[in-house]
Chains A and B, each alone.
Chain A
Amino acid sequence: MDKKPRSLRTLITVVVTLVTLGVLIWGMFFTADYLVLNPKGPVGQSEKELIIITTLLCCVVIVPVLILTAVIVWRYRDKPNRKAAYSPNWHDSKVLETVWWGVPIIIIIALAVVTARYTYALEPSKPIDAEQKPVTVQVVSLDWKWLFLYPDENIATVNTLTIPEGVPVRFEITADAPMNSFWIPQLGGQIYAMSGMSMTLYLKADEVGTYFGTGANFSGEHFAQMRFDVNAVSQADYDSWVQKVKGNTGSTITEASYADLAKPGVMGETEYSSFPEGLYSKIAYKYVVDGENADSEDSTDGTKQEGMGSSLPGFSSGQVTSGLSASQPVQ
C-alpha cells in the first residue's frame, strides 16, 4: 500500500532526521544557559572542575564498553554462513576476569581519591580564603518564600538577595517551614534549610550580575514559587543599596509582622529597613524545649540546639556542629 518512490522516502527520512537533530541541538544549546557549567564564583568553579574530572574518569570505562557492546552484538548475531567463531562452552577466563575486576577497581580508587580531596576542600561550612571579611546573610525558608536577614546592616529582604561582588558571603540557613534547600547554581552547590538547625554555607560571586536562585527541596503546595534573584553588585553599589533600604523606613519587620510573613502564602520581592534583633536565632531554635540539652557540650555558646546534635553525636560531626557551636554567636 505504501507506494511512494524510493527517492521521496529517502528525502522524507533525511528531512525528518535533520529537523529532529536541529530542534534537539537548538534546545540543548541555544535556549538556556547551563548554569552549573557556567559558574561565577570559586565554589561553583571548583565543583565544575570536579564534575568534568569525574566525567572523564568514568568515560575511560564507559566508552570502551559501549563500543565493545556494539561490536559484539553485531559480530556475533546469528545468521547463516557467519564467519565469527562459536564456542558454546567457553565460560571462564581468569585473565579476562582479572582485567575487568581490576580496571574498575583502579578507576574507582582514582575517583575516590579525587572525591575525598574535594569533599574536604568544598565542605560548605569552610570559609573561603579572601582578604575581605565575609558578609553574613541569614536565610530563612518559609512557606513559600525566602527571607534574607542582613544582621550587620539590620535590613531584610524577601525573595531577592543582594550581595557584594568579590566578597565571600557567609550564609546561615534555617527554616520556619518544612525542609527546603538553598541553591544558587552559578555560585555553588546547595545545602538544606531545616527547622531547628542552622547550616553554614560560604559562597562568593566573582562577577557583577544577576543569578538564578531557587529552593531545591519540595516543601509543599507552592514550592515552585520559591525562586529568587541574586544581584551581585559592586561594593559601592552594595553600600548605596543598603542605605536605600535603610532609608525606606515605611516597611519593617516586627515580631507581629514576622508572624504574618511566616504564614503559608506566596509573595513578590520586598525590602525591609529593619528587623528585631535575634530574630534568626529565635526562629532557628524555637522548638528547643527549655532545659533539655542544657549541659550538652554543643551549647557552649549559649544557644541551644535540638535533637540530633547532642542525642546522636555520630551524625553531627560536620555542618550541624560547626553551625551551632562555632565561636561566632548567631545574632
Chain B
Amino acid sequence: MLDSIKDFASWFFVTGDPLIYGADVSIVLATIAIFAVLTYFKKWGWLWRNWLTTVDHKKIGIMYILAALLMLFRGGVDAIMMRTQIALPGIKFLEPEHYNQVFTTHGTIMILFMAMPLMFGLFNIIIPLQIGARDVAYPFLNSVSFWLFFVGAMLFNLSFVIGGSPDAGWTSYPPLSELMHNPGVGENFYIWGIQISGIGSLATGINFIVTLIKMRAPGMTLMKMPMFSWSVFATCIIIILAFPILTVTLALLFLDRFAGGHFFTLDMGGNPMMYINLFWMWGHPEVYIVVLPAFGIYSEVVATFSRKSIFGYKSMVFAMLVISIVSFFTWLHHFFTMGSGADINAFFAITTMIIAIPTGVKIFNWLFTMYRGRIRFELPMMWTIAFIPCFVVGGMTGVMLAVAPADFQFHNSYFLIAHFHQVLIGGVVFGYFAGLYYWWPKMFGFKLNHKLGVWAFWFWNIGFYVCFMPQYSLGLMGMTRRISEYTWDTGWAPLNFISTIGALMMGIGFLFQVAQILYSTFKHKKVGNDPWDGRTLEWTTASPAPEYNFAITPHVHAVDDWWATKERRAKGIADDPLPPIEPIHMPKNSIIPPIMGLAWFVAGFGFVFDWWWFYIPGMLGVAICMIARSFSYDTDYYIPVDEVKRTEEAIRGSV
C-alpha cells in the first residue's frame, strides 16, 4: 500500500531536479503566506466581494494585468534559464529534456498567458471609459472570460510541479506532440491550458466588438472613435475569426491523444502537415491580435505627448483594417520549407510583404504626428519613441524572411528568433508598457515613479539590443533554434555569451519596474482626472473612475472630444448645459464565474490525467453553472441619484 502510494507520488509530482524542489517549496510558502495575510487582516470577505465575484470591467482589467505581470515573471525566468544554459558550450545547468520544457513553456506563456491577458487588461480598463460607456456589453461574460483565462494559465503552470511540463515547443507540432512520441501528460496540460483560456479569449473578442458597436456614447460615430478603440475593434475581428481555428485544432489533437483519433498521427491516414497549416492559420493572425492594440496605444500616446491630433486618422483606421484582413492570408510563410512548391510559396511570400505596406504607413503617420508637435518625454512617450526604430528594423527582417527562397536559409535559425523577438518585444511589450504607464493614473489615481521608470527603460532597451542583435548574426552562422547545447568548434560561444548578458539586463529592467510599482504604491501624489493633458473621454472622469464611470453619459462632437472641449473652454466658450443625474443601471456581482472557472479547472485536470472521476464532476459543474445563470433573474440594480451625487462630491472633494 505504502509502496503504491510512493510510486504514484513519484510519477504524479515532478521529481529529481533541485530547481523544481525549490519551486515546490516557494509555491507552498507563498500560498501559506497569502492565506495568513488574508486571515490576519480579515480580508477574505473583501477579496470575495470586491474582486473575485466582481463584474466591474476596471477591476477585472486590474486582475488581468496582475496575472499577466506574474506570467511575465515566469516566462522571463524561463528565458534567463535558457540563456544561461546556452551562454557557453558545456554548461550543465539544464538537461536537454528540461531545456526543451523550458523553451516550450516560455513561448506558450509569453504569447498566451502574458501578452493576451495584458492586452485584455488594457481593453477592459480603457475601452468602456474611452467610448463613454458604463461597462462592457456583457459584464457577466467578461468575468467568465477572466476566470477561464486564469484557470487555464494556472492549469498550464501546474505542469511545472505536477505531471511534467510539455516539451514539444510552443507550436507543439505532431507527430512529436502525439502519444507515439510524447506519452507523458505534459502535452495534455498544454492542450487544456490553452483550450480553457482560449474559450475566454473568444468570448472577450465577442464582448468587446459588441461593446464597441453598441455602447458608444451618443454622438461618437465610428469615425469619431479614438484610435485605441479602433485597434481593439480590428483585433476583435481577428480574435473572432482566428480563435475557433485554434480551439478546433487542439480539440483534434486531444482526440488523437485521448480517444485514439488519427487526425494528425502518422499512421491510419493521419496527417501532421494538416496541424501545421491549421496552427498557423490561427498563429499568424494571433501576432496581429497582440500587436494591433499596441499600435492603438502608440497612436494615443503619440498624439497626447506631442499635443497634436493624430496624423491621417482615416489612413490609420484603413491600415489597421487592411492588416486584420490580410493577416489571414499569410500563414504559410511559417513553413515555406515544407515543400508546397513555387506557386504557393510565391503567393504567400507576396501576401506577407503586402502587410508591410499598411504597417509602414502607420509608422509615417506616427512620425508626422510628432512633426510640428511638442514632444514631452514622459515614460509612455519614451517607450513609444523606442518602439519606432526597433519595430522598423524588426519589420525589415520580417520582409527579408518573407522572401521564400531566402527563408530556406533563415528558417528555424536564430535569425528568425531575433526577428520575432524584435517585433514582439519592440512592438507588443513596449506598447503594453507604454499603455500601462499611460493609463496607470486612470487605474489607481497616481503616476508611477519617473526616475525608477527611466532606469527600467534603459535597462530594457540596451538589454534588448545586446540580447537580440547578436542572434541575427548567430542565425547567419548556422545556429538553429531550440538546441540545448553546442560545441566550441562552432564559434557561436562569444555572441551567445553577449546575448545572455543582454537577457540579464532585461531581467534587471523588469526588477526596476517591480521596484517602481512597489515604491510608487507607497509613495505617490494623487493626480486629478487628466494628469497627462489627454485628449479622449477616459480623462474626463475621476482617477480611478467610480464604478459607474460617468455620472452623466457624455455627448461626443469630435474625434479627441475632450481635447476639443478644452480648446473651447480656453476660448471662453461655455460647455453645453448638463442634463440632470438619473439613477444608473448597473450589473450585479456574481459568484458563478469563479465557481465555473473552478469547475473548468477540475475538468481540465481530469482530462489531463484521463481521470473520469475528475472530469465528469468538473463538466457537470460547468453545466450546473450555466443552468444556474440562465435561471437567475436578479442580475442588475440601480444606483440612486443621491448616492451618485454623494460619490461625485466625495471625488471632487478628495482631489
- Chain A residues at the B interface, C-beta cutoff of 8 Å: 23-24, 26-28, 31-37, 44, 46-47, 50-51, 54-55, 58-59, 61-62, 65-66, 68-69, 72-73, 76-78, 82, 84-93, 96-97, 100-101, 104-105, 108, 111-112, 114-116, 118-125, 177-179, 181, 183, 185, 188-192, 194-197, 199, 212, 214-224, 287, 289, 292, 306-308, 311-312, 315-323
- Chain B residues at the A interface, C-beta cutoff of 8 Å: 96-97, 100, 167-169, 173, 175-176, 181, 266-274, 277, 306-313, 315, 335, 337-346, 349-350, 353-354, 356-357, 360-361, 363-365, 367-377, 385, 388-389, 392-393, 396, 399-400, 402-413, 470, 473, 475-478, 480-486, 490-495, 498
Assuming the contacts A55-B400, A108-B353, A189-B408, asked whether A221 and B97 have C-beta atoms less than 8 A apart, the reply is yes
Q: Which of B311, B405, B478 contacts A214 (CB 8 A)?
A: B478
Q: Which of A86, A97, A120, A320 contacts B346 (CB 8 A)?
A: A120
Q: Which of chain B's residues have a CB closer than 8 A to the CB of A105?
A: 357
Closest chain-B Cβ to A199's Cβ sits at a distance in Å of: 5
B337 and A181 form a contact (CB under 8 A)? yes
B353 and A112 form a contact (CB under 8 A)? yes
B491 and A33 form a contact (CB under 8 A)? yes
Assuming the contacts A61-B360, A65-B363, asked whether A76 and B374 have C-beta atoms less than 8 A apart, the reply is yes
Q: Which of chain B's residues have a CB closer than 8 A to the CB of A77?
A: 375, 377
Assuming the contacts A24-B498, A78-B375, A189-B409, asked whether A32 and B492 have C-beta atoms less than 8 A apart, the reply is yes
Closest chain-A Cβ to B364's Cβ sits at a distance in Å of: 4
> Complex Cα distance A199/B181, Å?
22
Q: Which of chain B's residues have a CB closer than 8 A to the CB of A199?
A: 339
Closest chain-B Cβ to A201's Cβ sits at a distance in Å of: 9
Assuming the contacts A100-B361, A111-B403, A221-B96, asked whether A179 and B408 have C-beta atoms less than 8 A apart, the reply is no
Closest chain A residue to B482, Cβ basis:
A218
> Complex Cα distance A100/B337, Å?
33
> Complex Cα distance A62/B349, Å?
20
Q: Which of A82, A196, A216 contacts B266 (CB 8 A)?
A: A196
> Complex Cα distance A55/B311, Å?
29
> Complex Cα distance A197/B276, Å?
15
Which DSSP category, helix, strand, loop or mixed, fits chain B's interface? helix
> Complex Cα distance A221/B100, Å?
7
B370 and A178 form a contact (CB under 8 A)? no
A289 and B273 form a contact (CB under 8 A)? no
B361 and A120 form a contact (CB under 8 A)? no
Closest chain B residue to A79, Cβ basis:
B374
Closest chain A residue to B305, Cβ basis:
A78
Assuming the contacts A76-B370, A108-B353, A120-B346, asked whether A91 and B309 have C-beta atoms less than 8 A apart, the reply is yes
Q: Which of chain A's residues have a CB closer than 8 A to the CB of B176?
A: 178-179, 218-220
Q: Which of B306, B309, B313, B340 contacts A318 (CB 8 A)?
A: B340
A212 and B478 form a contact (CB under 8 A)? yes
Q: Which of A51, A68, A90 contacts B409 (CB 8 A)?
A: A51
> Complex Cα distance A65/B366, Å?
11
Assuming the contacts A32-B492, A47-B408, A51-B406, asked whether A189 and B337 have C-beta atoms less than 8 A apart, the reply is yes
Enumerate 13 A-B pairs (CB-CB under 8 Å) in ascending A order. A32-B492, A36-B478, A61-B360, A76-B370, A76-B373, A90-B309, A90-B372, A119-B345, A188-B409, A194-B273, A218-B168, A220-B100, A289-B267
Closest chain B residue to A292, Cβ basis:
B269
Q: Which of chain A's residues have a CB closer than 8 A to the CB of B310?
A: 91
Which of the listed residues B100, B337, B364, B396 has the most CB atoms from chain A within 10 Å of its own CB?
A: B337
Assuming the contacts A54-B400, A73-B385, A111-B353, asked whether A119 and B367 have C-beta atoms less than 8 A apart, the reply is no
Q: Which of B340, B356, B478 contacts A104 (CB 8 A)?
A: B356
A192 and B337 form a contact (CB under 8 A)? yes
> Complex Cα distance A87/B483, Å?
54
> Complex Cα distance A101/B486, Å?
45
Closest chain-A Cβ to B157's Cβ sits at a distance in Å of: 22
Q: Which of chain A's residues have a CB closer than 8 A to the CB of B412?
A: 181, 183, 190, 216-217
Q: Which of chain B's residues have a CB closer than 8 A to the CB of A123?
A: 341-342
Q: Which of chain B's residues have a CB closer than 8 A to the CB of A185?
A: 409, 478
Closest chain B residue to A91, Cβ basis:
B309
Which of the listed residues A59, A93, A190 has the most CB atoms from chain B within 10 Å of its own CB?
A: A190
> Complex Cα distance A105/B319, Å?
13
Assuming the contacts A112-B350, A224-B485, asked whether A32 and B389 have C-beta atoms less than 8 A apart, the reply is no
Which of the listed residues A90, A114, A321 has the most CB atoms from chain B within 10 Å of its own CB?
A: A90
Closest 9 CB pairs of A and B: A318-B341, A189-B408, A319-B339, A32-B491, A178-B176, A307-B271, A91-B309, A122-B405, A27-B494
Q: Which of chain B's residues have a CB closer than 8 A to the CB of A92?
A: 311-313
> Complex Cα distance A307/B264, Å?
10
Q: Which of chain B's residues have a CB closer than 8 A to the CB of A86?
A: 307, 372-374
Closest chain-A Cβ to B226's Cβ sits at a distance in Å of: 14
Closest chain-A Cβ to B409's Cβ sits at a distance in Å of: 5
Assuming the contacts A27-B498, A88-B307, asked whether A220 and B364 have C-beta atoms less than 8 A apart, the reply is no
Assuming the contacts A32-B477, A189-B408, A217-B412, asked whether A26 and B363 have C-beta atoms less than 8 A apart, the reply is no
Q: Which of chain B's residues have a CB closer than 8 A to the CB of A101?
A: 315, 357, 361
Q: Which of B306, B388, B476, B480 contacts A69 (CB 8 A)?
A: B388
Assuming the contacts A119-B345, A223-B482, asked whether A32 and B490 have C-beta atoms less than 8 A apart, the reply is yes
Q: Which of chain A's residues have a CB closer than 8 A to the CB of B484?
A: 223-224
Q: Which of chain A's residues have a CB closer than 8 A to the CB of B491?
A: 31-33
Closest chain-B Cβ to A115's Cβ sits at a distance in Å of: 5
A31 and B400 form a contact (CB under 8 A)? no
Q: Which of chain A's residues have a CB closer than 8 A to the CB of B373?
A: 76, 86, 88
Closest chain A residue to B268, Cβ basis:
A289
Q: Which of chain A's residues have a CB closer than 8 A to the CB of B410?
A: 36
Closest chain A residue to B475, Cβ basis:
A36
Closest chain A residue to B270, Cβ basis:
A307
Closest chain-B Cβ to A44's Cβ sits at a distance in Å of: 8
> Complex Cα distance A90/B403, Å?
38
A192 and B338 form a contact (CB under 8 A)? yes
Which of the listed residues B271, B274, B354, B402 has the most CB atoms from chain A within 10 Å of its own CB?
A: B271
Closest chain-A Cβ to B332's Cβ sits at a distance in Å of: 9
Closest chain A residue to B350, Cβ basis:
A112
Assuming the contacts A194-B272, A222-B96, asked whether A58 and B337 have C-beta atoms less than 8 A apart, the reply is no
B399 and A58 form a contact (CB under 8 A)? yes
Closest chain-A Cβ to B262's Cβ sits at a distance in Å of: 10
B408 and A122 form a contact (CB under 8 A)? yes
B311 and A91 form a contact (CB under 8 A)? yes
> Complex Cα distance A116/B403, Å?
9
Q: Which of chain B's residues have a CB closer than 8 A to the CB of A181?
A: 337, 411-412
A27 and B97 form a contact (CB under 8 A)? no
Closest chain-A Cβ to B257's Cβ sits at a distance in Å of: 15
Q: Which of chain B's residues have a CB closer than 8 A to the CB of A118?
A: 403-406
Which of the listed residues B176, B353, B480 has the most CB atoms from chain A within 10 Å of its own CB?
A: B480
> Complex Cα distance A191/B273, Å?
14
A315 and B340 form a contact (CB under 8 A)? yes
> Complex Cα distance A194/B308, Å?
55
Q: Which of B277, B399, B405, B475 contacts A111 (CB 8 A)?
A: B399
> Complex Cα distance A35/B410, Å?
11
Which of the listed residues A76, A91, A123, A192 has the most CB atoms from chain B within 10 Å of its own CB?
A: A91
Closest chain-B Cβ to A221's Cβ sits at a distance in Å of: 5
Closest chain-A Cβ to B96's Cβ sits at a distance in Å of: 5
Closest chain-B Cβ to A62's Cβ sits at a distance in Å of: 5
B96 and A72 form a contact (CB under 8 A)? no
B396 and A58 form a contact (CB under 8 A)? yes
Closest chain A residue to B405, Cβ basis:
A122
Closest chain A residue to B473, Cβ basis:
A28
Assuming the contacts A115-B404, A119-B342, A178-B175, asked whether A104 and B388 have C-beta atoms less than 8 A apart, the reply is no
Q: Which of A116, A212, A292 contacts B350 (CB 8 A)?
A: A116
> Complex Cα distance A54/B409, Å?
14
Q: Which of chain B's residues have a CB closer than 8 A to the CB of A212?
A: 478, 490
A308 and B360 form a contact (CB under 8 A)? no
B349 and A191 form a contact (CB under 8 A)? no
> Complex Cα distance A135/B172, Å?
36
Closest chain-A Cβ to B578's Cβ sits at a distance in Å of: 27
